[in-house]
Amino acid sequence: MPKRIVISKLGGPDVLKYEEYSLPKSIKKKEVRIKHTAIGLNYIDTYHRSGIYPLPAELPVCLGMEAAGVIIEVGTDVSNFKVGDRVAYATPPIGAYCEIRDFPEEKLIAIPDFLKDDEVASILLQGMTVEYLFERLYKIKNNEIILFHAAAGGVGLIACQWAKSIGCKMIGTVSTNEKAKLAKNHGCEFTINYKEKIVSEKVMEITNNQGVPVVYDGVGKDTFDESIKSLSTRGLMVSFGQSSGMVEKIDMHKTFNPKSLFYTRPSLMGYTLNREELLNCANNLFEKMKNKEVKSNIYKKLKLEEAQEAHEILQSRKSVGSIILKP
């Protein structure tokens, strides 16, 4: 029998359990059955596990939103894929932490021949996140200075490369000098070690007291105030994650009114509403990878049954790059 990781209650990494499970006897008409070769680990998985984000199904639940693999069976109405095709996904329904699963055809992405499964599983969700943040939510420009928090994380290192490919001068925040070097090596123009410097003061120094037109903040509570202080008049605050926790209640007038600021809380799902948007997003990422402008950065590979350890590493903020699980 195949095996998977499930949670029967909300909590810390210790609630992740490795167990056998049964597959449905038949596949739905518009779904395919995938044998996973690599599973991507993302911070949103910890939100689902802990209850920060509501689960889309009742417990027990198999977590995970990203994986790559090979199709081993297709439903009767599947027209775009066949048995043997290499595919990947980075959208709901959750349930990627397993060896084999059924998945809707309309949300699948074909893996290009020039990319390996591990590469795709380590970058798809994070890379598509950077694509919509930089190309569609707010289109960054050549010679523009922007601020991006957690520049040495999985999303951050992709952002460094993407910004450099456009000629955008990214300021990236990091927690250590080692991470600062890593971010710079990936294309980050300026780095700020937030344990040594006050971020907003350094941003104002870099921008001649103008501030930045946009801040990309996936950290949340710990960085929110400094993000607001770093923005220019009519700047845009993009809050796309909350790895440090949710921002406390804020006074909208006092926070945004003085500089006429804009605020958005986007998600990848909101920018891949249909198959056309999904494929355009993925293909833009793949094109960057084909041109060697963006590459995956795998920090660690662990066995599927080591998901608990993987979550512990992810939440410790010690990882530099992506973590993948191998079934």
pLDDT of residue 249: 81
pLDDT tens sequence across 45-88: 998 999 988 898 889 999 999 999 999 999 999 999 999 999 99
Q: Average pLDDT of the chain?
A: 95
Note whether residue 110 is domain-resident.
yes
Q: Quick check: 245 pLDDT over 70? A: no
Q: How far apart are CA 127 and CA 237, in angstroms?
A: 20
Find the distance separating the first CA and the last CA of the chain, reported in whole Å. Answer: 13
Pair 111, 190 in one domain: no
Q: What percent of the chain has pLDDT over 90?
A: 86
Helix (H, G, I), strand (E, B) or coil at 212: strand
DSSP H/E element including 253: helix 252-256
Q: Which amino acid is at 171?
A: I
Pair 289, 184 in one domain: no
Q: What token pair was written down for 185?
A: 């090596």
Q: pTM to 2 decimals?
A: 0.92
The whole-number average pLDDT for the span 293-317 is 93
252 confidence band (pLDDT: 50, 70, 90): confident
The whole-number average pLDDT for the span 161-176 is 97
179 confidence band (pLDDT: 50, 70, 90): very high
The answer to whether 206 and 189 have CB atoms below 8 angstroms apart is no
Q: Say which CATH number the domain at 179 has.
A: 3.40.50.720
The whole-number average pLDDT for the span 167-177 is 96
Note whether residue 136 is domain-resident.
no
Q: How many helices (H) and strands (E) does the chain have?
A: 9, 16
The whole-number average pLDDT for the span 184-203 is 97
Helix (H, G, I), strand (E, B) or coil at 195: coil
Most distant CA atoms of the chain, gap in Å: 64
**Could you give the angle at which helices 275-290 and 154-166 cross, rounded to 10 degrees?**
70
pLDDT tens sequence across 263-280: 999 999 999 999 999 999
Q: Say which CATH number the domain at 34 has.
A: 3.90.180.10
Q: How many domains does the chain have?
A: 2
Structural domain that includes position 92: 3-123+273-326
